[in-house]
Amino acid sequence: MAAEIALNAQKAGHVGTRTGLLGFLERLLGRRQRSAADLARLTGQYQSPLGDLPISVTDLALRLAGQADAQALLHQAAEWLIERSGVACVVIYLHEMAANRLARPICVGVQLTDLPETIKLGYSIYGEVALGRRHYYIESVAREKRLAPVPPETQSAYILPLLHENQLLGVLGLYAVRPLALSEPSRAAIDRVATLIGALLSTAYRLSESQQAIARFDRFQRLAQDLTARLSSQELLQRIVEAARAILDAQMSILLDVNFESGELRPVAWSGIDRETALLIRSRLKEDLKGLVAWARLPARTPDIRTDQRTSLATQAIVAGMVSELAVPVLYYDELYGILAVQTSTYRNFTDEEVDLLQSLAAHAGIALRNARLFEALEQRNSELQKANAALEIARQQAENARAAAVQANRLKTEFINNMSHELRTPLNAVINFTRLVMDGHAGAVTEQQRNYLNYVHEGGQHLLGLINDILDLAKIEAGKMELRREPTPLVPLLKGVMSTLIGLTKDKGLALHREFEDNLPTLNIDGRRIRQVLLNLISNAAKFTAQGSITLRAVQQGDQVIISVRDTGVGIKPEDLPKVFEEFEQIDNALQETASGTGLGMPISRRLVQLHGGEMWIESQLGVGTTVSFSLPVG
C-alpha cells in the first residue's frame, strides 16, 4: 500500500511537471499539445502481464516522457528493449521527412559497424518496411540475404515501422540470438512498444520544435527591440530579411514591395544573395507563388519550387540551388505592402510555426514599410507646403503690389484732380472776373447786346467753376477728406437765407417760392455752409425742371430729426429713372432737356453731404405732377 502511494506520488509529480511545461508551451504557441501523461493513459491498455517479456509499457512511458532529445529518447528506448526483451541488438533509423529517407541510425547492444548512414525509402529491408509500413519478421536471417549487416550469431530479426498518427517517424530493427526473444507474443509486445516509441518520438519532436520556438521567440523578441530602436526604414528592412534568413535557417530571404498600379513586386531588401541576383527576382500579382501570396494575402509554402504547380504557371526567377520556399504577405492591418519570402537549398517542409514566425517578422516589415511610405508622404506634403507657402508669399506680394499700386493710383488721381483744379481755376479767374469788369461797364460803356453776350461768357465760366467744385467735393468725399465744420446753427435763418438767395432765380422763371416751416425749428449741430449748398442745389434743380407753378421749401421736426423737403410742380421723373438720380454723372432725360443742364454731380454730392451729417436723402416723384426731394438731419 505504501509502495503504491509512493508510485502515485511519483506519477503525480511527473504529470505535474509535464502539465506545467506543456501548459506554458500551449500558451506560447496557442496550440494544443498532447502530454506524456495522456500518452501513458493511451498506451496503458497494452499493459499486460507477459511471461517471457516483462514489458510494462507504462513503465517505459513514464521513463521516457519529457525527453525532448529524439536521439537520447531512442537510445533509452533501445536499451530498455534490450534489457527487457532479451534481443542482442536494436537499430533505429529516423525518417527525414523533407528528404524522404531514413537516416541517423542508432545502434544499441551489439554494435554494427557497417550500418548505412542513409537509406532511401523502398530500398533494402528498412526502406521497404518504411515505404510499405509493414512489419517484417525474419525467422531465419540466414535466408534473408538482403538484411545486412547483422550481428554475429543472429537467428532472427524483426523490422517494423515507427508510426504515429499515420506518420512514419522511423524504422525499428531488433536482432535476436535467442529465437524466443522474437516469438509471436514478444513481437506483439514489441509492436506495442513501437507504438509507444512512435508516440514518444512524435512528442519529443514537438517538444523540440517548441523549445526551438521558444529560442526563436527569444531571438525574435531581441530583434524586435533592436528594430524599434532604429530609424532608417531601409536599414530596418535589411535587418528583417537577415533575421528571417537566420531564424528560419534559410539560404536566402527577400522582401518585395508591391505596386498596385503596375501590379509589380519589386525587391527592396534581401539577404543571402547578391544585388544582381536579387534584382532579377521580380514578380507580378497572381503570377507565381509570391504573386499569389500578394494577391491572396495568405502565406504559401512549397517544398520544391521547381515542381510546384503554382510556380510553374509563370516564369519565376529561380535562384540557383534553391529548393523550398516560404512566402508571407507583408501587411499593415488590411493593407498590403509587399511580401517576405525565404528559400532553402535543402528540401524542406515549412511548419505552421515557421509560417507564424515569418508572419511575425513580416508584420514588423509592414510597420517599417508603412513608416517609410508615411515618411515619403510627409516629405512630399512638406515640399507641397513649401511650394504653397512660396505661392502664398507671391500672392501676398502681388496683393501688396496691387495695394501699393492702388495707393499710388489714388495719390496720382488726387494729384491730378488738385492740379486740374488749380490749372483750370487760374484762367477761370481771368475769364469770370474780366467779364464782370467789362459787363458791369468798368471798362467803358457796353451795349445791351454786348452785355447779354458777356453774360453768356460769365455763366459759362460760372458753370465750369461749379463743375470743378463739384468734382473736388466728390473727390474729397471719396478720399474721406470731406471735413464738416459743425457748429450750432439755427435752422430758420439758414432756410430763410437760402430762400432769399434764390428768390431772384425763381422770380425770373415766373415761379412762386413758398415757405412751409414754423419759426420754432431747432438749432442743429451742422456745417451750415454744406447744408446751404445742399438746399441751393435742390432748389436750383427744382427750378430747372419746373416750367410753371411753384417750389415749396418745407421743414418739420419729427422726433429727434428734422425733415426738410423741396417740392416742385415740375415735369416729374419716371419711376424707373428715380434710382439714377443719386448716381454720379447721371442726367435724367426729360421734356425740359433744353433747360436741364448741370454737372450730374449735384444730387450725389448733396446726398453724401447729408449722409456725412448722419441723415438720409430720398426722392418721390410723379410724372407730370412734380417731384419732392427730402432729407433728414438729426437733432442734437
Residues near another protein (CB under 8 A) are 418, 421-423, 425-434, 436-437, 442, 461, 465, 469, 472, 476, 481-483
Question: Contact 471/493 with Cβ under 8 angstroms?
Answer: no
Which of residues 403 and 442 has its CB atom nearest to another protein in the complex? 442
Residue 288 near residue 296 (C-beta atoms within 8 A): no
Q: Is 37 left (phi over 0), alpha (psi -120 to 50) or beta?
A: alpha
Least Å distance between CB 426 and another protein? Answer: 5
Q: Closer CB to another protein, residue 473 or residue 568?
A: 473
Q: Are 174 and 158 in contact (CB under 8 A)?
A: yes
Q: Which residues pair with 257 in a beta bridge?
A: 266, 338
Query: What is the spatial distance between Cα 516 and Cα 564, in angstroms, rounded to a whole number?
Result: 10
Closest distance of CB 446 from another protein, Å: 15
Q: How far is the CB of 563 from another protein (least distance, A)?
A: 29
CB atoms within 10 A of CB 426: 9
Rounded Cα gap, residues 491 and 496, in angstroms:
9
Cβ neighbour number for residue 291 with a 10 Å cutoff: 26
3-state secondary structure of 25: helix
**In DSSP terms, which residues pair with 471 in a beta bridge?**
none
Distance, in Å, from the CA atom of 282 to the CA atom of 266, rounded to the nearest integer, reads 5
Nearer Cβ to another protein (74/482): 482
Nearest to 627 by CA among 597, 590, 583: 590
Residue 462 vs 557, nearer CB to another protein? 462
- DSSP H helical ranges for 181-318: 184-228, 233-247, 275-280, 289-296, 309-312
Instruction: Answer whether 619's CB lies under 8 Å from 604's CB.
Output: no
Q: Which residue, 428 or 578, has its beta carbon nearer to another protein?
A: 428
Nearer to another protein, 97 or 424 (CB): 424
Q: Which is nearer to another protein, 58 or 462 (CB)?
A: 462
Q: Tell me whether residue 378 or residue 430 sits nearer to another protein (CB atom).
A: 430
* Residue bearing cell 518520438: 201
CB closer to another protein, 437 vs 556: 437
Question: Is the CB of 483 or the CB of 519 nearer to another protein?
Answer: 483
Rounded least distance, CB 592 to another protein, Å: 29
Q: How far is the CB of 437 from another protein (least distance, A)?
A: 6
Residue identified by cell 424707373 is 576
3-state helix, strand, coil in the chain (%, to 5): 50, 20, 30
Other residues' Cβ atoms within 10 Å of the Cβ of residue 324: 22
End-to-end CA distance of the chain: 125
| Nearest alpha-carbon partner for 344 in 362, 317, 365, 326 | 326
The least distance separating another protein from the CB of residue 602, rounded to whole angstroms, comes to 15
